[in-house]
Structure 1
Amino acid sequence: MPADPDHDPKTARRDRRVALSVLALVAATVLIGALAPRTAPQAVLAPAQDPACAEWGDGCTICRRTEDGAACSLPGIACTPGAMACLRPTGEP
């Protein structure tokens, strides 16, 4: 049986080593994700629930306290919301 002229043992060994390295990296990433401790989200008083906040938003949607309840704007099509924050306390114009 003649030897394959396109087969280079050094290249094959390096390719095998690269493939095993990638496989080990993927396995380690999955393992870290599975074993990482999970933290419960902390309960924070939302501006909508805070009577001292008249207007709040997340950079995409702005809500205002009215006599009928909260009135909120619609977010833009390419908006990435941030953290909800009070924009205007009650008593300010």
Structure 2
Amino acid sequence: MTYRNESAWIQPAAPATAPRTTQARSTAEYRALDAAHHIHPFSDMGALNRAGSRVIVKADGVYLWDSDGNKIIDGMAGLWCVNVGYGRKELAD
């Protein structure tokens, strides 16, 4: 894919590939990365800083599981990214 700016055609660089490891990161590592690189809009930052962010490790349909084993209904996804169902073709059509 190419993009055009005002003066030239630009080819985007190939995406960098990070080395894959077989060992998953810990919840603490994910929380540290989250704190360093993500802004949480609509969040109580005091509570977030005290408790840490929720790390989602699994999903199935409308359900999510966090790294503490809690099963959660994905009630907010429809606001931004799942407005036609969870992969349900009949809704997307």
Scaled by the length of structure 2, the TM-score of the pair is 0.24
Which fold has the larger relative contact order, with Cα–Cα distance below 8 Å and residues 6 or more apart in sequence?
Answer: 1
- Greater fraction of residues in helix: 1
Structure 1 or 2, whichever has the larger Rg, is: 1
